[in-house]
Amino acid sequence: MSNPINNTQLTVAAIQMNSQQNIEDNLADIKAAIIEAAAQGAQLAVLPENCCSMGRQFATAEHFDALSAMIAEYARTYGMYVLAGSLPCPYRPDGVIVPDGRLRQASLLFAPDGTRIARYDKIHLFTATVADKQGSYNEAATFEPGAQTVVAALDVEGAVYQLGMMVCFDLRFPALSQRLRQAGAELLSAPSAFTYLTGQAHWSLLLQARALDSQCMVIGAAQGGEHAYKDGHTRQTWGHTTMSAYDGTVISSYDASELNQSLNEDNKNYAIVLATLDRQAQNQGRQKMPIFDCHRLA
Query: pLDDT, tens digit, for every residue of 110-137?
Result: 999 999 999 999 999 999 999 998 899 9
Give the C-alpha separation, 34 to 31, whole Å.
5
Query: Residue 18: inside a domain, yes or no?
Result: yes
Query: Residue 118: inside a domain, yes or no?
Result: yes
Give the chain's mean pLDDT. 95
Q: What is the amino acid identity at position 50?
A: N
Query: Residue 1: inside a domain, yes or no?
Result: no
Query: Residue 284: inside a domain, yes or no?
Result: yes
Residue 4, pLDDT above cutoff 80: no
pLDDT tens figures, 17-75:
999 999 999 999 999 999 999 999 999 999 999 999 998 999 999 999 999 999 999 99
Q: For position 230, what pLDDT does the model report?
A: 80
Three-state secondary structure call for residue 248: coil
Residue 189, pLDDT above cutoff 60: yes
Query: Residue 2: inside a domain, yes or no?
Result: no
pLDDT tens figures, 166-179:
999 999 999 999 99
Residue 98, pLDDT above cutoff 60: yes
**How many angstroms separate the first and last alpha carbons of the chain?**
36
Query: Residue 20: inside a domain, yes or no?
Result: yes
Q: For position 92, what pLDDT does the model report?
A: 99
Q: For position 7, what pLDDT does the model report?
A: 44
Closest CA to 185 of 152, 207, 159: 152
Query: Residue 4: inside a domain, yes or no?
Result: no
Query: Residue 245: inside a domain, yes or no?
Result: yes
The tally of domains found in the chain comes to: 1
Catalogue the active-site residues. Answer: 49, 122, 168
Q: Which of 39-43, 59-63, 183-187, 291-295 has the lowest mean pLDDT?
A: 291-295
Closest CA to 37 of 75, 6, 89, 92: 75
Q: By residue range, what is the domain housing residue 52? A: 10-294
Could you tell me the CATH number of the domain that includes residue 175?
Answer: 3.60.110.10
Three-state secondary structure call for residue 131: coil
% pLDDT > 90, the chain = 89
Q: Which residue has the higher pLDDT, 271 or 134?
A: 271
* 214 φ/ψ sector (left φ>0, alpha ψ -120 to 50, else beta): alpha
pLDDT tens figures, 213-233:
999 999 999 999 999 988 788
Q: For position 267, what pLDDT does the model report?
A: 74
